[in-house]
Amino acid sequence: MPIVLASANPKKVAELRAVIGDRFELVPRPADVPDVVEDADTFVGNARLKAVALVEATGRAALADDSGLEVDALDGRPGVRSARYAGEGATDEDNVAKLLDELGSVDAPGGRAARFRCVIVLRWPDGREVVTEGTCEGHITAGPSGEGGFGYDPVFAPDDGDGRTFAEMSGDEKHAISHRGRAIAALIAALGA
């Protein structure tokens, strides 16, 4: 059974394929299916919006994820607005700069506690759904380090790591402890695959 992927972000698609790709046939979102407006105020709400739109457009099972960074000292921001934190069309560098600026000199690591959260919705044309979630606790570093990954990876050091940021880890090291890796592991467990 092919599963259509909602994400058009090549780095996220690559991460999904790396973990799930040999268990299911994953097909990319057809080019003529437009982005949905992600205007829900929860991760699961946004993931469901994307999955429903894709099922309706393709008639196939669809897998959508929504993810983001929650920083305790910022009352959970950037949260569902992680991708657009510094404004529409913001780059990863813009978003990281805004985050570091807002955190200012808050002491590391305790005062800079944060987590990545990922929710996956796999939805079938008959309306059945499997919803899973993964989180990864950590803290925001004083400044960016590392060249790997994407988004906020250069300023996020996971608690389950050795002090390096996600951007300083290999893809496999990150997947083993990341919010997305954990949400996918929960999905695979839920499907008994």
Nearest-angstrom CA–CA distance, 77 and 100: 12
178 in contact with ligand IMP (CB under 6 A): yes
Confirm if 164 and 142 have CB atoms less than 8 A apart. no
Q: Give the number of residues in contact with ligand IMP, rule: CB under 6 A.
A: 18
Check 65, 66, 92, 153 and give the catalytic one: 66
Taking the complex as a whole, how short is the minimal distance between the CB of residue 90 and ligand IMP, in angstroms?
A: 9
Confirm if 50 and 36 have CB atoms less than 8 A apart. yes
Per CB under 6 A, contacts with ligand IMP among 16-35 are none
**Would residue 101 show up in a list of annotated catalytic residues for this protein?**
no
Its sign, for the CA torsion 172, 117, 80, 52, is positive
149 in contact with ligand IMP (CB under 6 A): yes
132 in contact with ligand IMP (CB under 6 A): no
Q: What is the DSSP string of 102-165?
A: HHTTPPTTGGGEEEEEEEEEEE-TTS-EEEEEEEEEEEE-SS---SSSSTTGGGEEETTSSS--
Nearest-angstrom CA–CA distance, 166 and 146: 8
Structure tokens at 4: 């259509």
Per CB under 6 A, contacts with ligand IMP among 74-93 are 82-83
67 in contact with ligand IMP (CB under 6 A): yes
Confirm if 15 and 21 have CB atoms less than 8 A apart. no
152 in contact with ligand IMP (CB under 6 A): yes
Taking the complex as a whole, how short is the minimal distance between the CB of residue 80 and ligand IMP, in angstroms?
A: 8
Stretch that binds ligand IMP, among 28-36, 51-59, 99-107, 144-152 (CB under 6 A): 144-152
150 in contact with ligand IMP (CB under 6 A): yes
Residues that bind ligand IMP in the complex, under the rule CB under 6 A: 9, 38, 66-69, 82-83, 95, 116, 149-153, 166, 178, 180
| Catalytic sites, residue numbers | 66
